Amino acid sequence: MKVLREIFSWVIPIAIGLLLALLLKNYVLSPVKVDGPSMQPNLENNQRVWIFNQAKVKHLSVIVFDAHGEDPSAKPGTDYVKRVIGLPGDTVSYKNGTIYVNNKKIKQNFISESERTSGTTDGSGHSSWNLKTLSKRFKWGNGSVTVPKGKYFVLGDHRSVSNDSRYWGFVDKDKIAGVVKVPVWSSTKTKRANVNSLGY
């Protein structure tokens, strides 16, 4: 009996600790690693960040989502990191390097002018494509597109290499894992603020 009490005295705390860690990971926050350059200059390839699973998704929030079923080229288990531009019901348009949401100009101070307007390939490597011609192709630029209910319009910060809503459309709310936050020991103060502090 004494032996059993001793065993339970250390087994139960370990079990409770593991359960709390599992709940924390699934419902509060999770560590993730950025894969690829699509969020440069604010997030780098292989950079480790946190996602807050229950955080409210806002304009300019950086999110992680399951890309399988959203992007036709994404395999099962593929997560993307992108910035939310349009929320459900928003009207998004693009003119001359400027993005408008509900007819209001979006301040994109988190990237440079050249990063906002640099050439974008069409997926087959044709460098003559740019954001303006892409917007015509996908019918959201010179006109506009309305984000459907339960969906989000997302872009990568590194527009010339990002595979995002310009190509395959919207992100379903149910696919979103959480909102990205960069820890204080990672990156520069400005880059952290460009990820952690821009949601509105």
> Does residue 113 sit in the same domain as residue 24?
no
Q: Which pair of structure tokens corresponds to residue 136?
A: 């015509």
> Does residue 57 sit in the same domain as residue 23?
no
Q: How many domains does the chain have?
A: 2
DSSP 8-state symbol, 123: S
Q: Which is the catalytic residue, given 38, 61, 160, 165? A: 38
* Contact (Cβ atoms closer than 8 angstroms) between residue 40 and residue 112: no
d(CA 90, CA 51): 24
Burial of residue 105 (CB within 10 Å: 0-12, 13-18, 19+) is exposed
| Host domain of residue 112 | 34-196
Q: Which is the catalytic residue, given 61, 82, 144, 151? A: 82
Say what the pTM is: 0.79
Distances from the Cα of 159 to the Cαs of 17, 29, 52, in angstroms? 42, 28, 25
58 catalytically annotated: no
> Does residue 58 sit in the same domain as residue 5?
no
> Does residue 123 sit in the same domain as residue 170?
yes
* Contact (Cβ atoms closer than 8 angstroms) between residue 120 and residue 129: yes
Tens place of pLDDT for every residue, the chain, 200 residues? 665 556 655 655 564 545 444 544 454 578 889 999 999 999 999 999 999 988 899 999 999 999 999 998 999 999 999 999 999 999 988 776 688 899 999 988 999 887 777 765 555 554 445 555 665 665 554 567 889 999 999 999 998 888 888 888 899 999 999 999 998 888 899 999 999 988 77
> Does residue 83 sit in the same domain as residue 52?
yes
Q: Which pair of structure tokens corresponds to residue 97?
A: 């390097």
> Does residue 162 sit in the same domain as residue 176?
yes
> Does residue 23 sit in the same domain as residue 58?
no
38 catalytically annotated: yes
